[in-house]
Structure 1
Amino acid sequence: MLACNRTLGNTMISALRIFCRNQVVFYERAHRCLSTQTEGEVRIAKILKEKFPLASSLQVVDISGGCGAMYEIHIESSEFKGKRTIQQHQLVNQALKDEIQGMHGLRIFTEVPKS
């Protein structure tokens, strides 16, 4: 296995080469430097802050390289207490129902605060 990182403008390119029995699998993923948020990240974060005012942690990242096709959301809120993971994700999906229509994908990670 061989891994490397390089930058192209404000985008970090991570490359991982995995060698398996005379076969090379190449995996490359672009990461935008997080010094500024995209309009989509700001819009989604605003919606989630309004829907989950007790959220102790919220992170929204455009993982499509900045085009708004796919997002990853990490949210920790006491509002998820007593709910199964699927129910927590349904709440996030419901809050973003209008936004989701224009997306290709969405990764959701929810958590209940430890205390």
Structure 2
Amino acid sequence: MICSSCRAALRTQRSPPAALLRPSSRSIVIAPRALLSTSASPRRSLSPRHLSSRATLSSSSTAALPSPTPARLYSSSSTPPQRQPTSIEDEDPLPAMTPAEASIAAVLSAALDPTFVLVQDVSGGCGSMYAIQIASRAFRGQTLLKQQRMVNAALGDRVKEWHGVQIRTVVPEEEE
């Protein structure tokens, strides 16, 4: 079950909205260039019924048409070469934290002296559910339940404002 805040955040992330993809009888339908075949006659038009179904295109017809949308920015091939790390030391294995995530991590760092802490907003950006991964020497000898109670105690009343929290605790290996 998802809370209304999480549902609203998920709705804002969808693009394009499903209502725009379904043509209605009152709307004007403009066929995308990729749906038009190069061999189609100019008199033939596409009805809304044709646009609502998924069209399959052959690779020869799509190769000749220019792409109306730019390349996806999240694909690895579209990353500019100057932005790629030059060595393994330059890579940051952890994602950047938002200010809310960083403040939660700071509270945990002050209370538990962790060797590793990662806080992620898993609610879609609305701040109602967090996933916390933490490794601390303070967890040594404690049961899993006691470790999670220690994290809850460190967070205090902040947890009461959230829809949920996922806590993963780890005891770091002893260094000799």
User: Are residue 113 (structure 1) and residue 172 (structure 2) matched?
Assistant: yes
Q: Give the SS at the match of 1:61.
A: strand
User: Are residue 57 (structure 1) and residue 116 (structure 2) matched?
Assistant: yes
Please give the alpha-carbon distance, in whole angstroms, between the structure 2 residues aligned to 1:97 and 1:106: 13
Which of 82, 86, 100 matches 2:159?
100
1:35 Cα deviation after fit = 5.2
Give 1 or 2: higher helix fraction. 2
1:52 Cα deviation after fit = 1.2
Partner of 1:21: none
Q: Hey, which bits of structure 1, 4+ residues long, moved more than 6 A?
A: none
User: Are residue 74 (structure 1) and residue 144 (structure 2) matched?
Assistant: no
Which letter maps to 1:81?
Answer: R
Note the residue ranges of structure 2 that are not aligned, 5 or more in a row: 1-12, 14-93
Please give the alpha-carbon distance, in whole angstroms, between the structure 2 residues aligned to 1:51 and 1:42: 14
Q: Give the SS at the match of 1:101.
A: helix
Q: CA RMSD in A?
A: 1.6
Structure 1 residues 66 and 50, CA gap change in structure 2 (3 angstroms): same
User: Are residue 83 (structure 1) and residue 129 (structure 2) matched?
Assistant: no
User: Are residue 48 (structure 1) and residue 108 (structure 2) matched?
Assistant: yes
Partner of 1:17: none
Identity %: 39
Q: TM-score, normalised by structure 1?
A: 0.66
Rg larger in structure = 2
Q: 8 Å contact 1:74–1:109 — kept in the other structure?
A: yes
Please give the alpha-carbon distance, in whole angstroms, between the structure 1 residues aligned to 2:118 and 2:126: 17
Which letter maps to 1:95?
Answer: A
Please give the alpha-carbon distance, in whole angstroms, between the structure 2 residues aligned to 1:36 and 1:77: 21
Structure 1 residues 111 and 101, CA gap change in structure 2 (3 angstroms): same
Q: How many residues align?
A: 82
Please give the alpha-carbon distance, in whole angstroms, between the structure 1 residues aligned to 2:107 and 2:158: 10
Q: TM-score, normalised by structure 2?
A: 0.44
Q: 8 Å contact 1:38–1:66 — kept in the other structure?
A: no
- Provide, for residues 4-56 of structure 1, a one-character-per-residue CA deviation record: whole Å limited to 9, x for no partner: xxxxxxx7xxxxxxxxxxxxxxxxxxxxxx75422220110010010012x11
Which letter maps to 2:154?
Answer: A
